[in-house]
Amino acid sequence: MIIVVAPGQGSQTAGFLAPWLEVDGVREQLGILSDAAKVDLIEHGTLSDDELIRDTKIAQPLIVAASIVTGRVLLQGRESSVSAFAGHSVGEFAAAALAGVLSPSDAMSLVGVRGRAMAAEAAHVATGMSALLGGDADDISAKLSELGLFAANMNGGGQVVVAGATDALAALAANPPEGVRVIPLSVAGAFHTTFMHGAVETLRVAANAVVATDPATPIYTNSDGSRVSSGSRYLDLLVGQVSNPVRWDLCMESFARDGVTGIIELAPAGALVGLVRRSIKGLPTVAVKTPDDVTAAIEMLEAS
């Protein structure tokens, strides 16, 4: 059972799309997806620096488009070898496009709206996110309550991403719970928290204008780690996800329970296979970062 996964915001690095433009058809696909998202993906994926592509309204379309185009390169004629799709946070839009819930253009149009709306909400108050590694769960929970912070991403593998006001995050970094390492993340907002309620309503209006179909390939949700068989329900969960926690830990529990035998992470890859390796020991993984990695991913699919 091979599951193909798509990463979330923070996975992007300057110039990461450049090698993919040498692959037949990718430049043309990115042009179409750029028009849908109203973002120049080719320019930002090749020429823009790390600071510019940190901007939420650029980062989100860039990451989703990368996963869509690399997924389509990988899956040509091999769709039946994929047992399921899943995405982390905004990566769920790429999973939805690859699983047949949304057309690639509709997925990108919604991601463009999502990114702009979340950036607008983030501009109202200085907020951010930090990853916490290690420590005791009860101690962490108590500290978050004390500082008014939220657990935004439960990533498993000993990692929790917290979100909230930047001064509260600074206080956490200055005095973390025992055994906890705090790593500030390259995102400009308290995503998956109540700070994003306004963005949910904006995205909901846009989502009402697209058609979602039931997935052609099984797909997991970050809401509770379950498989979702209804396209309309999956789209509704995508909208609500903006202000609700990401439960990647529960997704990985479902992968293990359902008998996963391998994970392939689409570009810009690396973060999710790292979490999987820490949570499901010994599971084969492939991170498709550049076109050179496609061969190993194909071999995993063909061996399944």
CA 245 to each of CA 54, 194, 219, 296: distance values in angstroms, whole numbers, following the listed order: 21, 10, 18, 33
Token pair 């499901």 is at which residue? 280
The closest of 282, 110, 120 to 189, measured between CA atoms, is 120
Given a contact cutoff of 8 angstroms between Cβ atoms, the answer to whether 187 and 128 are in contact is: yes
Which residue among 109, 192, 223, 254 is the active-site one? 192
192: annotated active-site residue: yes
The closest of 283, 61, 67, 62 to 156, measured between CA atoms, is 283
Cα 62 to Cα 77: distance, rounded to the nearest angstrom: 25
Residues in the chain: 304
Cα 282 to Cα 148: distance, rounded to the nearest angstrom: 38
Which residue among 11, 89, 223, 243 is the active-site one? 89
Which amino acids are annotated catalytic? 89, 192
